[in-house]
Amino acid sequence: MASTPHETGSSGSTTASEQPSGAGLHRNLRVWEVTALSVGFMGPVMAMSLNGIGVAGLVGKAVPFTFIVAFAGTMAVAYAFVRLTRYFTHAGSVYALAGATLGPRAGFFGGFALLGTYLFFSACIVGACAVFFDAMLTELGVSVPTWGWLIVGLIAALGALALNLRESKTVTRVLLGIGMVGILTMLALAFVIITRVGSGNAPVSTGLDFGTLLPGDASWNAIMTAAVFGFLSWAGFESGTTLGEETKDPKHTIPIALTLAVVLAGVIYTVVMFAQSVGFGTDQAGQDAFANASSTLTQLSSTYIGAWFAVVISIIAFCVAFASLLSCSAAAARLVFAMARDGFGPPALARTNSTGAPSTATYLVIGLAIVLMLFLAAIGGGPVEVYYWFATIATLCMVVAYGMASIGVIRHTFRPGSPIRAWEAVIPALGLTFLAYVYIVQVEGQEAPYTYFPWIAGAWCLLGLGVIIAFPRLAERIGSRIAQEDLG
């Protein structure tokens, strides 16, 4: 969750130069707290309810194996953040690390790519809120019109707008706390499923099929295509870097916490996806049921425990999704604010309200999320399409942003006097290879509309590159500022 940049706007708030970095912050967060917050920002309950569906449709029963592949790729990508946060502990995120290692223009490019990530994630999570609310009503036996999800999405978006205009960091952390409870609830469900399937007391007869941990009949092209949804599940793992100024001994704590967050999430995802795969059954009927589910955790909860547990899961998932919406829209608004303040965009976008929140930018971000939701509804899409379509575009923008951090650590490795050993460059290079492959595989062998998404994400990132080429001084000034401030 981003904190508010203190800049002079319509409210006349103080400037960053008048308030030293870290002023007023208590540097007492420990490893477990940073790890918990990073895992919370990933939204595991939301991820495990939705992201396996798209994977199952591509790789059949090899869903757990696909998540293992995504886990390995994420570890290689996370290495850049783990190494760089040993030397750079500012509260900035991808753009700060890119700016510190590659220069302010690279910081602008990384920030612009991440802005696309936040904008499209905001839209996709509006869809997720609608999916989980609908799942809850279904378990309660309440039927709603086919257009009812639009009302839920609109209310969620307006709720995020209201809270972000009032500085909602406390609200977000409470919701993320609920998400941590949700992880334990989700693991309890996984334990019940595995136990019942293993003992033969289950509505499926395919048993504990450990072949799900291997590629099986799935092609590598399908596995890497599906890895986009797997990789999406780790989105936000780098959020712990934004706590650098609130952490005890950050050069030691942050790298350890980031590593633990990625590993912990990887273990949870693999276990839960194995439980879901065997819970639906690994025959063709089970694979089809998995791929056609709207919310896997609620469906499996109802099947293996009871409708009451499905309601609990759906409520928790909705809270997690809403927390993610708050975080993404706030981060997007702060990046829009930062860029407009330095001359990129209308001056109105640099206005703040009495709480210091970037009010006009927040209205813009939430407005765009609503427009994107309505656009998909107009062409026949539902909440699931809103989630998957915009999540894919957001992930591809994120691939570019994360790639900047990987390039940054490679460059830093070969600087004179660098404490990073030269051979270590192999790891971020593997991370870059993974990111590039994930992106490229989305261009070839896909069906519409997924063939369009890489070009949309690429066009967004090229727009940022165009700004750098056309207005190099402007990009350098903005990149320098966003690399120094807590916007993530």
CATH for 287: 1.20.1740.10
> Does residue 201 carry a pLDDT above 90?
yes
Query: For the chain, what is the domain count?
Result: 1
**Mean model confidence pLDDT for the chain:** 84
Tokens of 264: 């912990």
Q: Output the pLDDT for position 15.
A: 34
Residue written as tokens 């509505």?
Answer: 203
Residue 19 lies in a domain: no
Residue 173 lies in a domain: yes
Q: Output the pLDDT for position 290.
A: 96
% of the chain at pLDDT higher than 90: 41
Residue 149 lies in a domain: yes
Residue 4 lies in a domain: no
Maximum alpha-carbon separation in the chain:
67
Residue 301 lies in a domain: yes
How far is CA 162 from each of CA 155, 167, 183, 317, 362, rounded to the nearest angstrom?
10, 9, 27, 21, 10
Residue 2 lies in a domain: no
- 84 vs 446, higher pLDDT: 84
Q: Output the pLDDT for position 10.
A: 34
pLDDT digits (tens, 9 = 90+) for 396-423: 998 998 899 899 889 989 988 888 889 9
Domain, as residue range, for 438: 38-483
Residue 400 lies in a domain: yes
Q: What's the average model confidence in pLDDT over 428-442?
A: 88
> Does residue 16 carry a pLDDT above 90?
no
- 222 vs 283, higher pLDDT: 283
Residue 363 lies in a domain: yes
Residue pair 208/194 in contact by the 8 Å Cβ criterion: yes
> 194: pLDDT confidence band, cut at 50, 70 and 90?
very high
Residue 52 neighbours by CB under 8 Å, 6+ apart: 63, 67, 229, 273, 276, 290, 296
Q: Output the pLDDT for position 386.
A: 94
Residue 481 neighbours by CB under 8 Å, 6+ apart: 338, 341, 342
